[in-house]
Structure 1
Amino acid sequence: MSSAVRLIRTDALSDAAEYAYAAIVPAGSRLIFLAGSCPLNLDGTTAGIGDYRAQAAKCVENLRVALAEAGASIRDVVSTRVLVATTSQDDLVAAWEVVRDAFADHDVPSTLMGVTILGYDDQLVEVEAVAAVAE
């Protein structure tokens, strides 16, 4: 089944962004609102302690599992918000590159944010997402 999501790009805005500027979901699609995907192992421990890239990869891995359980895939994601516990742009970019690469050409509208703290011990990255599938 093809994704219900249509990504919008435009030459009227900067091409510096590494993602689409908007996404459209047709009427009748089922929306899926995912909780923030955290870098947690199955036993509840935090993966990749101290490593922004490793934590971003674990977040994406867990996001894929949650999507599958909801009957969707990464190609059905409409938008993301990537939260990174840091004040360093280099750390933001490190986490972002992992998420961006995981989405490949399905470069959904995204927000990348530095935050002061996240909910779990040693957590540095969290990825929120909204997805849509055709009914």
Structure 2
Amino acid sequence: MPEPVALLHVPALSDAAEYAYAATVDPPARLVFTAGACPLDAEGRTVTPGDHAAQARQVMTNLETALEASGARLTDVVKTTVYVASSRQADLVTVWGVVRDFFGDHDPPSTLLGVAVLGYNDQLVEVEAVAAVRMGA
């Protein structure tokens, strides 16, 4: 049975984006919506204050853990939203590089945003995701 997720690259749109422009989910699939993954350690402390890349790595590790708990994995993700507490485009690009590395060849549609502040002290990065898993998986 084919995977329920199809990532769509649109030839009429620029190939400069490092992600698919759209994704479809075919039944039967179970959708998984994650809370924003934060750069917190097991004790709830924000890791590596001031380091966007290190926080992005912790965020992606935490996202993988949350997905696994729901029976999903990164390759099941159909959409992400990446929040970076910065007005500097270079910081957004740094975080995006880490996120892309975690996804490898899987390139779900994504939105990358610079925001003024995130919820935890010293937090610079947050990523939320929607995944689709074949029913019964």
- Quickly name the TM-score band, shorter chain normalised: over 0.9
Cα separation, 1, equivalents of 2:75 and 2:101: 13
Corresponding letter in the other structure for 2:105: D
Distance in 1, matches of 2:86 and 2:13, equals 28
Total equivalences in the alignment: 135
Distance 2:22 2:114 in 1: 22
The code of the aligned residue for 1:73 comes to R
The Cα shift of 1:74 comes to 0.5
**How big is each residue's C-alpha offset from its partner over 1:53-97, in whole Å with a ceiling of 9 and x where there is no partner?**
000100000000000000010010011000000000000000010
Q: Secondary structure at the match of 1:35?
A: coil
2:4·2:27 contact (CA, 8 Å) conserved in 1? Answer: no
The percentage of counterpart residues that share the same residue type is 58
Q: Assess if the C-alpha contact under 8 Å between 1:78 and 1:130 holds in 2.
A: yes
Given that residues 30 and 132 in structure 2 are in contact (C-alpha distance below 8 angstroms), is that contact kept between their aligned partners in structure 1? yes
The separation in 1 between residues aligned to 2:73 and 2:5, in whole angstroms, is 11
Distance 1:99 1:2, change over 3 A: farther
Shift of 1:33: 0.4
1:81-100 equivalences under 5 Å are: 81-100=81-100
Aligned counterpart, 2:57: 57
Q: Which runs of 5+ in 1 are unaligned?
A: none
2:121 aligned partner: 121
**Normalising to structure 1: TM-score of the pair?**
0.97
TM-score, with structure 2 as normaliser: 0.96
CA distance in 2: counterparts of 1:28 and 1:14, whole angstroms: 32
1:34 is aligned to: 34
Alignment RMSD, CA only?
Answer: 1.1
Task: Confirm or deny: 8 A CA contact 2:36 2:127 kept in the other structure.
Answer: yes
8 Å contact from structure 2 (residues 50, 124) kept in 1? yes
Deviates more, 1:21-30 or 1:120-129: 21-30
Is the CA contact 2:4–2:28 (under 8 Å) kept in the aligned structure 1? no
Question: Residue 3 and residue 47 in structure 1: after superposition, are their counterparts in 2 closer, same or farther (change >3 A)?
Answer: farther
Letter in 2 for 1:40: L
